Structure 1
Amino acid sequence: MEGEATYRGTVYPWQCDHVGHMNIMWYVGKFDEANWNLFARLGLTPSYMRESGRGMAAVQQTLSYKRELLAGDIVEVRSRLLEIRDKSIRFLHEMRNAETGEIAATCEITGVHMDRQARKSAPFAPAIRYAAMQHLAPAEGVVA
């Protein structure tokens, strides 16, 4: 899964702040959209979550802003899975200016698989763990 695009979009003028670059709330929103595409590739689809009573909750998120994005810029987020545990996953998103290739921001997230009714963490289903294992990024050379 390393390097696969999980989000593509554009920076709209109304997403920019008083300084003229994309406001931080939109970085978070675009990373959130990338989350759901990444999850779907692992089998954590909307159908799976509805039918199983499961969900995902972010418990830690670290953002680093590297370069500004301006109105009209084309944005691409690429994601890679860093770690899977019994009930949690850790992954990294890189947001790039798709025209220049420059990294605009990174976001590392730890997410927990939840039983929505019990409101507590739950182990991943074997099929999801298997899919995630196939997509784990190699330990060496991973840069956050």
Structure 2
Amino acid sequence: METAATYRGTVYPWQCDHIGHMNIMWYVGKFDEANWNLFARVGLTPTYLRESGCGMAGVQQNIAYKRELMAGDIVEVTSVLLEIRDKSIRFRHEMRNAETGEIAASCEISAVHLDRQVRRAAPFPEAIRKIAETQLVAAEPVSV
């Protein structure tokens, strides 16, 4: 799968905690922004979600924190698709300090495609499934 960035940004001073590094709530927020760019690559675009009446819901998220990010650091997240099933998708993000290249955190997420009207999981359309299948990568163990 293409490994171009799914998120780029900066750590702002107000995102840092009493220890001086980016607070965990901001790691989650930056990973969430990466989600939407990854989804768009497989056809789960804002237009598709609005017009289809479907949505995406995270059901599991595991984060490993590796290095601190400090105010002023430039952040880049890259993402890979690990699995697509009938109604769910699993993917991994890596957050790096863009200056040093060091991995600051990784995150593996499972999400469900759902029908917003009935609020239940729904199968992915065949077109989205086909695009996603071309972008799958083999899962590698995440070191903690």
Q: TM-score, normalised to structure 1's length?
A: 0.96
Give the aligned residue type for 2:134.
Q
Same amino acid, percent of matched pairs: 76
Q: Give the match for residue 125 of structure 1.
A: 125
Give the aligned residue type for 1:101.
G
Q: Report the alpha carbon displacement of residue 2 of structure 1 after superposing the two structures with TM.
A: 4.5
The answer to whether the 8 Å contact 1:2/1:81 transfers is no
Q: Give the match for residue 15 of structure 1.
A: 15
Q: Report the alpha carbon displacement of residue 82 of structure 1 after superposing the two structures with TM.
A: 0.4
Structure 2, gaps ≥5 residues long: none
The answer to whether the 8 Å contact 1:59/1:111 transfers is yes
Cα root mean square deviation, aligned: 0.9
The answer to whether the 8 Å contact 1:96/1:104 transfers is yes
Q: Report the alpha carbon displacement of residue 143 of structure 1 after superposing the two structures with TM.
A: 3.6
**SS of residue matched to 2:35:** helix
Where does structure 1 differ by over 6 angstroms across 4 or more consecutive aligned residues?
A: none
Give the aligned residue type for 2:38.
L
Q: Give the match for residue 93 of structure 2.
A: 93
**SS of residue matched to 1:94:** strand
Q: TM-score, normalised to structure 2's length?
A: 0.96
Structure 1, gaps ≥5 residues long: none
Q: Give the match for residue 57 of structure 2.
A: 57
Q: Report the alpha carbon displacement of residue 117 of structure 1 after superposing the two structures with TM.
A: 0.2
Q: Report the alpha carbon displacement of residue 3 of structure 1 after superposing the two structures with TM.
A: 2.3
**SS of residue matched to 2:55:** strand
Q: Give the match for residue 108 of structure 1.
A: 108
Give the aligned residue type for 2:6.
T
